[in-house]
Structure formats: structure tokens, C-alpha cells
Structure 1
Amino acid sequence: MQTQPISTVAFTLFLLLLSPPRAAAARPPPDPLRTSCAQARYPALCVQTLSNLSNTAAKPLDLAQAAVRASLARTRGLSAYLWALKAASQGFELRQRVAVSDCVKQISDSVRELSKTLNELQHLRDETFQWQMSNVQTWTSAALTNGDTCISGFNAVAAAAAGNIKLELKQRVTDVSMFTSNALYLISRLTDSVTGKPRANSGN
């Protein structure tokens, strides 16, 4: 009389173990954008930057181009700020004026390098794919380095009067660097991705 309830409980547990877990079946599929951005240096910013793309249709090439466009737009904004700062720098000390002029040149170079990067990504070919991607990575890396060089030049200016300028400039350059770093990451993903490699395009 006492053994039957135990057997019934054991049999019920056995059936439960054989049944597939419902939670796993109901688990939503992974978000492609979050998966693509998971290893980026700034993943949340990466997802935000790419959020206007279709989750299902976006390919590695689409993601890389969108990231470069965002970086280029931010870099152009920084360049405009620096040109305005240079125009207002007549009252600065000589070392400050030199630092501003150097930053103008460096960030202008970044605009050109990112523009070349975007153009190259829009004209990829099978037969020159690896060479083109090497160029793209080189240009994007150079744009990232230019920001560091700009900040280093201002850090060398010891005058206290440059403090507020250095702080704002550092914030603006850091913002641009975050976008450029993510763009470089997505370019690297494209380089390593077979699905991101375009078909030969003889019309471009």
C-alpha cells in the first residue's frame, strides 16, 4: 500500500524528464545586429548606429558601410568645429594655435581617409577584394590614429588657459574615435566573412 504512491511519483518524474523543455522551444531567435556588435569595443553604440538597418536583411557589407558613414559624419562635424576654433584662435598663445592647426590638418586627413574607405566599400570586386580590404583597414586605422595624435598635441600644451579647450576637444575626439573604432571592427568582420564578399561587379 505504501509503495504505489512512490512508484507513481517516480513514473511522473520520469515522464517529465523525457518531455522537451518548453522554455527552450519558446526562446526568441538571437538579434543579428546584437550578434554582429557583440565583440565591438563599444557594443551598445554599435547597435544604436546600425538600428535603422533591417535585422534580417543586413549583411556584413551593409553593416560596415553604415558604420563608416556614421564615423564619417561625426568626423566631418569635428572638422567643422576645429575650423571654427582655428578662426577664433587669434587670442591663443602660440603653442595653442599650433596645436589647433595641427588638429585641423589631422582631422581633415581623417575625413579624406574615411571618404576613401566608404568609396572603396561601395566598389568592391572579387578579384581585388583582399587588396581593397587591406586599403580600407589601413585608412580607417589612420583615421583613428589621427584623433589620438590631435589629443596628444593638445596635452603637450601646458598653459592652463588651454584647459577648457582641451577638455571639450578631448570629448569630441573621443566621441568620433568610438564610432571609428566600431567601424574598423565591422570592417574586420567583413574581411573575415565569406558571405560579406560581393560578387564580381564589372559595371562599377
Structure 2
Amino acid sequence: MQTQPISTLAFMLVLLFLSPPRAAGARPSPDPLRSSCAQARYPALCVQTLSNFSNPAAKPLDLAQAAVKASLARTRALSAYLRTLKASSQGFDPRQQVAVSDCVQQIADSVSELSKTLNELQHLRDGAFQWQMSNAQTWTSAAITNGDTCISGFNTAGKIKLDLKRRVADVSMLTSNALYLINRLADSVTGKPRAKSGN
């Protein structure tokens, strides 16, 4: 009468010892998008921005292009806002008028630099990859610096500076993530164009 429980217990112990390796092997693979964004300066924003590119086939080039597109769109919106602000800046003190005018030019430069970056990423060539990556990194870094310079032109605190600081910070976070993904692409073998075969 006592042998049956013992044999049942032994059988259950065998199953218990056999199950851990199987469970470990069945662990779900990490989300490729979250893995790509894990080391970004703003990882949550990175995942949110690139959520449309979360399929397993997304490559570093796809993600870098998407990040630059998002940054460029937000920078263009900021540029339009600044042009509107400049048009209504007659009531500002002279220093603020100069600061707004400088910001208009700096953010316009950022739009140009990010546009060039996106164009470079869309036309990568074998044999020029590292040079093109260097261009993209330089232009994207310059776009971030332009935002910092824009804000520093407002020496006094006030509603204009606080509003601009928030808008520029929003753009800078997107652009910082774009730069991270460009750097990641530069280090990625799969991001490089394939060399053409033949003579």
C-alpha cells in the first residue's frame, strides 16, 4: 500500500528535474526593437518613436532612417513655430528679438542638416559607407548643438524661454536617439551596402 505513493513521488521528481532545461530553452526571445533602443539616451522615447518598425526584420538602417525622419518632422514643426514667433516679436525687448531671430536661423540649419543626414542614409554606397556615416554623425550632432545654442541666446528667464526650452528639448531628445541609432548603424555589418560581385 505504501509503494504506490513512493513510485508516484519518484515519477514527479523525474518530471521536475527534466523540466528546467526545457523551460529555459523556451524563454521568449527579446524584442528586437527594445534591444535596439536599450542603450539609447532616451530608450522609452526610442521605442515609442520606432514602434512601427518593431517587426523582427527591421534592420539598423531601417531604424536609423525612421529615427531621423521623426526628428526631422519635429524639427520642421519647431522651425515653423519660430518663424511665427519672429513675425509677432515686435513687442519683445531688443535682446529677445535678436535671440528669436538667431533661433530661426539655427533651427533652419538643423532642418537642413537632418535633411542631408536622411538623404545620406537613403543613398548608402559600398566603398563610401564610413565616409557617409561620418557625414551623418556630424550633421546630426550639429543639429543637437543648434538647439542648445538657440536656448542659450535667451539670458533671462521668462515664458518665451520656458516654452522654447520645452520645444527644443523635445526635438533634442529625438535627435539624440537618432544619433545613437546612426552610431549603431555605423558599427553594424548588416547596415553596410553589399559589395557588388564581378570584376
Q: TM-score, normalised by structure 1?
A: 0.87
- Structure 2 counterpart of 1:69: 69
Report how far residue 6 of structure 1 moved: 8.5
Report how far residue 56 of structure 1 moved: 1.6
Q: Which of 169, 176, 179 is the matching residue for 2:174? A: 179
Amino acid at match of 1:168: D
Report how far residue 109 of structure 1 moved: 0.4
Report how far residue 27 of structure 1 moved: 2.4
- Structure 1 counterpart of 2:161: 166
- Match of 2:168, SS state, is helix
Give a deviation string over 1:140-195, Cα, whole Å, max 9, x none.
000001101111111x1x3xxx6011111000000000100000000000000001
The answer to whether the aligner puts 1:43 opposite 2:43 as a matched pair is yes
Report how far residue 55 of structure 1 moved: 1.3
Amino acid at match of 2:75: T
Q: CA RMSD in A?
A: 2.2
Structure-1 separation of matches of 2:11 and 2:57: 48
Report how far residue 49 of structure 1 moved: 1.0
Structure-2 separation of matches of 1:12 and 1:115: 64
- Structure 1 counterpart of 2:184: 189
- Match of 2:20, SS state, is coil
Aligned-residue sequence identity (percent) comes to 82
- Structure 2 counterpart of 1:93: 93
CA 1:8–1:57 in structure 2 vs 1: closer, same or farther (change >3 Å)?
closer
Runs of 5+ unmatched residues, structure 2 = none
User: Is the contact made by 2:32 and 2:54 (CA closer than 8 Å) also made in structure 1?
Assistant: no
Report how far residue 18 of structure 1 moved: 4.1
Range with bigger deviation, 49-58 or 108-117: 49-58
- Structure 2 counterpart of 1:30: 30
Report how far residue 30 of structure 1 moved: 1.1
Structure-2 separation of matches of 1:16 and 1:199: 49
Report how far residue 94 of structure 1 moved: 0.4
Structure-2 separation of matches of 1:115 and 1:74: 12
Report how far residue 7 of structure 1 moved: 9.9
Structure-2 separation of matches of 1:116 and 1:92: 34
Report how far residue 199 of structure 1 moved: 2.3
Amino acid at match of 2:152: S
- Match of 2:55, SS state, is coil
Structure-2 separation of matches of 1:19 and 1:47: 34
Aligned residues between the structures: 196
Q: TM-score, normalised by structure 2?
A: 0.89
Amino acid at match of 2:159: N
Amino acid at match of 1:80: A
Summarize the alignment of residues 136-155 of structure 1 with structure 2, pairs less than 5 Å apart. Answer: 136-154=136-154
